[in-house]
Structures are given as C-alpha cells and as structure tokens.
Chains A and B, each alone.
Chain A
Amino acid sequence: MNKIFKYTVVLLAVFAIASCNKDSLSSTSVITIDQQTKNEFDLWLESNFVNPYNIQVKYRYDLNETSFSYYTIPADYDCSVMLAHLVKYLCIDSYDEVAGITFTKHYFPKLFVFIGEWEYNNAGTIRLGTAEGGKKITLSGVNYLPQVISLQWGDYSTTPAENLNHYYIKTIHHEFTHILNQTKDFPTEFKQITPNDYVQDSWNASEYSGENLYKGFISAYARKDDREDFAELLALYVTNTSEQWEEWMQAASVDSEGNPASGRDLIETKMDIVKNYMKDSFQVDLDVLRSVVIRRQDEVVNGLVDLTDLTIN
C-alpha cells in the first residue's frame, strides 16, 4: 500500500514538471560571431596552417587564451608574420619531411598563441612558452624576434640560429615533446636514471648552477623533473649540431673540480631511451630529424627563406 502511494507521488511529480506552453523553435541562432575582415596574413595562415593541418595561429590578442598570472601584451603584426613562417619552415615542414604529413596532422599542436612580451615572473625570470592539454602552444616574446635574429637581444647570443632556438624554436620542439608524451607515455626506466637529482622549481637556484651537465642533465631546466628532462633532451638534440652535442658530452665528463664524472653516460643512457621512444612509438629517427632541422635553420639564418612573403601558392 505504502509503496503504491510512493510511486503515485513520484509519477505525479513527473507530470507536474511538464510545461503547459508550446514554444516554436526559431530557425536562427541567437549567438552571433564577431565579423572580422581577413587580412593578408589571415589568408596566408588559412592556406598554410588551417587548411592543410587544421592549426590555428592566434596572433591577435585574445585575453582568454592568455595566462592570467602574467601581464601580457599583444604580439606585433610583422613579428607574428615572421614567427609563423619560422614555425612552419623549421617545425611543421621538418616533421612533414621526416615523419610524413599524417604524423604532423595527427600530433602537431592545433593552436598557437602569440604573446608580444615575455611572461615575467616576479622573481625576474621569464617564461618562454607553455603547452596545454596536447593542443595549444603559447609563444611569448614575439616582439623580440628581429632583435633575437640579429643578436641584439639576449645573453645567449652565440649565433643567430642558437639564439632563435633558445627563445622560440627549441620551445616548440620542447612543448611538442610534451604533447607526444601525453599521447604516449615514455618508458618508466627513464625516470630511474637520475631519480634523486630532480629539484623541481629550484632548478634555477644558484646552488645548482653550472652543475647540470656532469650531473647528467642537458640543461638547467632539465633538472626540474623527468618530463622536462625528456623534453629538453629531445628539443636540444634536434636543434643542435653533433659537434655542439659532443662538446656538451665532453663537458659532462668532468665535474666542477676537474674530476671524471658520469654525466655523459647518464645523458647518453637517457638519450637512447628518447631515441627509441620516438622510433618505436612514432617511427621518427631523431638523427634524421636533426639533420633536417639544422639544414633548415641554416637556410633561415643565411637568408634563403623569405620570412615576410605572404603570397599564397
């Protein structure tokens, strides 16, 4: 009896929710989209990024794409044109050449966000780029591009190629590596090689400065954690010549007091895992990729690539 009563009440309740009006659905959406005339660069992006790869380059400031933890400003139009060419020529085209366009279409991040200034932490350090959710790469300091290429900016100024890599291109390879890792995790053995020397956010503390190589880390930032270590290895490997790499390896063989150190062995063991990971999971030979990337960056630095040309083929 009680049960029947309960069910009746529930049933009544359901009926009671019903509306007594009949709204006809309008055929037009109530949402409108910003109408923006496409400029020359927009059309170039459409033909070089959107149509072939479904990659969007947001060079115009979009507050919601920026990090609210930093004071950011819009990227410069002319600098954005140059950087988009660099992303295409040095990264997308390199992966196309080595791994095939399907790989690039499938894995390459779908959204680039350009920010004019560097993202400054209140400690004075700068954040070069970030990757989010396997889809989006934010590149900051875009307005410095002409200065970086002409070596008028940066304390890392050895060659234009190194400077470019340091501030932008290495970041893309680095973040792309994170995206690949998010798609397919790297072997856990990697984490066991130098498990006790990761220092998280203290990576730029003075007590650790100058000791990364002989401790088995390719860069200071690689000491942050194993994921950054992995990404730094890949990014630095493909953007640097074998001579530069060998120089680092030799430096990794001695510690600050000149005694033999195991840095080289540690880095090479890690690098083997990185290479095998790329080969087994994505059929990408890192040595081939490196030769392609370096050939292309030489072409850029030697002025063989017009970074401002917006003609659509």
Chain B
Amino acid sequence: MKRNRIFTYILAGVVALFSLQSCLFEQKDEFEDSASVRMAKTLAEAKTILSQQSNGWLMYYFPDNDQYYGGYNYILKFTDEKATVWSELFDGSAESFYKMTTNNGPVLTFDTNNDHFHFFATPSGSGKNLYGDSGKYQAYRGDFEFLILSATPEEVRLKGNRSGCLVVMVPFTGEAPDAYMEAVNNCVEEIFVSDFNGTVGSTPYHIFLDLSNRQASLNAISSSDEEPEVTKVAYMYTDKGIRLYQPVTVGNSTIQELTWVEDSQKLVGTDIDLVGKLPEGWHSYDDYIGTWQLAFEGGNSFLDGIVISEREKGRTFTLSGLSNQFDMVVTYNLGSGKAQLLSQIVGNDGTYNIRAAYWDSKAGYVGYNDTIGFFLTFGENESGVDDASTIYFTDNRVWLTYVVSGFILYRMSGSTRIGASLAPWVFRTDEATGAAITAATGRLKNPTKLTRVN
C-alpha cells in the first residue's frame, strides 16, 4: 500500500511537470529562412565568390594535423563546375570537378581526382603509388574537403576536414600561375641559409628554418642566460620569401610573411630585419668557376688547364681538362656551399657505359655508386682565413669501409663491371713534366688539390 502511495505521488508530480508548459503565441523565428535554405544560400554565395575571381585564388595549403610537412602553394581557378589547379610541385595545370556541399557546415570539396591537388591526400602501400610514393597509408594527411569558415572577395578561410588545418585563399594577383610557381621554386632554392639573427621591432630576434621540413623556430634573444622561449610554426615558400602558418606576435610587430633579399641573405618585413648566417666553409657557386692546376700526391706532378665552368647555374659545374675525351660533372649544394666530384658515367662504348669508378688506390678497392667520391673543399691560408685560391680533394665519407683516393675508368653494364679498364678511354697524362701521374692510362690516382690559375 505504501508503494502505491509513492507511485501516486510520482504520477502527480509528472502531471504537474507537464502542466508547466508555456502558451507563448508570439514566438518569433530567429532567422527568416530554414537552416537548410540558409545553408544553400551560404554555399551559393561562396561559390559565386570563388568563380567570380577570374584571375584565380592563391591557396596557402598545409597538410597534416601538425603541419608536419610545412605548407605548399596552389593556384585555383574556379568555373561553374570545375577547378583548374596549379601547384609548386608539378608543371602545368590539372582540371577536375569541385562541389559545394554540406557536412556539419558548408563544405568545399574537390570530388574528382586532380593530379595536382590530391597529391598530399593520396596514400600508398608497400609498392609505389601513381606519384611514386610508398609506405604512406595515411598519405601526407592532406585535405581535399574543407569547411568554409568565411568567404569574402578578399579572403576565403577554410578548415581541412581531416587535418583541421587552416587553409587561406587570397585572390591571385600575379600574371601567370606558372611564373608564380617558378618564383616560389626559386625561393625554395635560393633560401639556403637556416639561421637568421636580427630585430623584430626593437626586439633582438632569432629564426631557425628547418629547410627540408619547412618548420620555423622563432625566439627573442635575451641578454640573460635563460633558455629562450621558442615558438615553433610551420612555414611555406611564397614567390618573394616565406610565410608562416600562423602569425607570431612580437611586441607590436607581427611576423607572418617575410621577403627574401638574396644579395644580403636577409629576411625582411615591416619592422623586421633578419640576417642569414652562412654555414662554416660556405662558398658561393661562382667561387668555384675558373681555371685551375691540379696537383697529385707527392707534389711532383701537375695537370694544367683544368677548367670549372657553369653547367646548371647553382647546381652543377662542368669539370674539363682531366681527359681529352670527356668532361666530368661536379655537383654543388647551395645550403652547405660545398661541391662534390662523385663517381659517374662519363660516356659510352657501344652498349656499355664508361664509368669513373671511385678507387682506394692504397687498399686496391673500387666501387660504382653515384653517391661516393670527393668533396672539393676550399682551403685556409696560413693565418686560418678562408682561401678562395685552393680547393682540396677529400673523401666525401660515404664509402665508410675505404677511402676514396682516385677514379678508374671501367666499362659497365648496369651496375656490373665488364672487364678491366679500357684503353681508348683515358685521363690526361702530365704533358708539362712528362711524369707518369697515371699508373695506367685509365686511372686518376691520388689527386690532392686545385690551385687557381685565373
């Protein structure tokens, strides 16, 4: 009976609760249209904004949840149904469909494959995918579907559906997308300095760029010994310099876009002036160019008329004078300011390639790998100052078991050596002294240094 009474009370309570309803007749709608209509309107407006920009949009694209790979440029031109995309990674453009849709908000999706745009989202397995990538089952965690945060003719702000990265688009103001991308790639090559010191406003400031992963570390330099507070943020290249994923505020100044000044190796902006510090032993591309005399171990024999000349500006040199039959290629790394003379194929004899194989002349071993050879390093004079008139040959330390001390010419079929060194292909002998610098004609034995003639 007692339980029954409790039940009754509960019921009475429920009745009372239901009776608490309101009878408000003049409930006004917060919005005039339904949510769905408003969404459709937002999408239509965004689409108009995108397609009306006839010169296209410049997109600052950052893949990966943590922007692990830094950022990349895209230029997109939208028509009613399709988007044409230019990228800094690939030549030309690619066209595909795009669509405005909804998925917890207004979404811009590139919903058919675009070879340029979907690169960072394309996964790979144990074999190579169509881009030549492998082992990335999550791709680069790039996006091709974006939540539209805001869209105005001046700026469109998007948020990657998977990564959550902020992706900003601004109207493209350049003349040709291809030229813009070329300028970007020039910046990628030209900005080889990673350490920058200077001022932001009146604050002494330091920026370190991780050039291969496009990550910047920024900190104010304090006079005390305290560990500086470092801000880490991804960056990307622009046609003029670099751009940070998100602005960093220092006092009254904001760092986001910085302009690269090649002549003085500076990054500058409004109130920002940062000077790049060259790595130790760095020499410019032009420092190597000229006519040289090659000396060999022991110092008794020489080769005159060794010429280093431009091949691909900033990347490779032609090294002539070692042989009357062929030239060799010297590679140059802008970042380290160092050059290398590596084992390479110098020509061919019928169906076989002729390779200058690296050689340990003392231990008597050879090898055929393209990554092994000499560093060509500038020397120092007696007072320890960098001397641009002498270049030394030193083992590049890739061949760990032996020491590179010269080259031997061999016929090769793929990576397999065919027979002994080949008589018709020879290095020059020393004409001036007549000394036998080459024990056999196909050998360049123990070169030590180049001395500048002019």
Where the two chains meet, the residues of A that have a C-beta atom closer than 8 Å to any C-beta of B are 2, 5-6, 9-10, 12-13, 16-17, 19-21, 30-32, 34, 36-37, 39, 59-64, 70-77, 79-80, 116-118, 120-122, 124-126, 143-144, 147, 155
Contacts and interface: CB of A to CB of B under 8 A. Distances in A.
B400 interface: no
A20 B23 contact: yes
How big is chain B's contact interface, by range?
35 or more
A17 B161 CA distance: 42
Nearest to B137: A120
Interface string B94-119: 00110111110000011111000010
Contact of B110 (A21, A74, A126): A74
Contacts of A2: 4, 8
Contacts of A63: 103, 109, 145, 161
B144 interface: yes
B216 to A, nearest CB: 27
A61 B118 CA distance: 12
Tell me the dominant secondary structure on chain A's binding face. Answer: loop
B111 A74 contact: yes
Given A9-B8, A9-B12, A71-B123, A60 B144 contact: no
Interface stretch (B34-42, B224-232, B241-249, B303-311): B34-42
A124 B144 contact: no
A9 B137 contact: no
A110 to B, nearest CB: 21
B140 to A, nearest CB: 10
A160 B223 CA distance: 71
Contact of A10 (B11, B25, B35): B11
B19 interface: yes
Given A61-B112, A124-B137, A116 B122 contact: yes
A2 B2 CA distance: 12
Contacts of B11: 6, 9-10, 13
Given A13-B15, A36-B99, A61-B111, A124 B37 contact: no
A21 B23 contact: yes
B23 A116 contact: no
Given A16-B19, A61-B109, A121 B144 contact: no
Given A13-B11, A21-B23, A39-B81, A118 B37 contact: no
13 contacts: A6-B8, A9-B12, A31-B34, A32-B37, A61-B144, A73-B121, A74-B96, A116-B113, A117-B129, A120-B125, A122-B137, A144-B130, A155-B127
Contacts of B113: 73-77, 79, 116, 143
Contacts of A31: 34, 36
A218 to B, nearest CB: 24
A116 B125 contact: no
B130 A77 contact: no
Contacts of A144: 130
A121 B135 CA distance: 10
B80 A30 contact: no
Contact of A30 (B14, B35, B124, B161): B35
Given A63-B161, A74-B110, A30 B137 contact: no
A70 B122 CA distance: 11
B345 interface: no
From B99, B100, B130, B161, name the one whose CB has the most chain A CB atoms within 10 angstroms: B130
Contacts of A118: 123, 125
A16 B18 contact: yes
B138 interface: yes
B161 to A, nearest CB: 7
B126 interface: yes
Nearest to A77: B112
Given A16-B21, A124-B125, 10 more contacts: A12-B15, A31-B34, A34-B100, A63-B145, A64-B103, A73-B122, A79-B113, A116-B122, A118-B123, A144-B130
B118 A60 contact: no
A104 B210 CA distance: 59
B139 interface: yes
A19 B22 CA distance: 9
A75 B4 contact: no
Interface string B70-98: 00000000001100000000000000110
From A21, A62, A116, name the one whose CB has the most chain B CB atoms within 10 angstroms: A116
A2 to B, nearest CB: 6
Interface string B333-357: 0000000000000000000000000
B333 to A, nearest CB: 34
A39 B18 CA distance: 55
B34 A30 contact: yes
A69 B125 CA distance: 15
Nearest to B124: A120
A5 B125 CA distance: 72
Contacts of A37: 80-81
B130 A17 contact: no
Contacts of B4: 2
A153 to B, nearest CB: 8
Nearest to B102: A34
B123 A9 contact: no
B122 A16 contact: no
B81 A75 contact: no
Nearest to A64: B103
Contacts of A124: 125-126, 135, 137
A126 B126 CA distance: 9
A105 B129 CA distance: 36
Contacts of B112: 59-61, 74-77, 80
Interface in B11-64: 11-12, 14-15, 18-19, 21, 23, 25, 34-37, 39-40
Contact of A60 (B100, B111, B127, B135): B111
Interface in B347-369: none
Nearest to A36: B99
A80 B113 CA distance: 10
Nearest to B130: A143
A5 B8 contact: yes
Contacts of A16: 15, 18-19, 21
Contacts of B101: 34
B81 A73 contact: no
A121 B99 contact: no
A12 B15 CA distance: 7
Nearest to B127: A155
A19 B127 CA distance: 65
From A12, A63, A71, name the one whose CB has the most chain B CB atoms within 10 angstroms: A71
A60 B99 contact: yes
A175 to B, nearest CB: 21
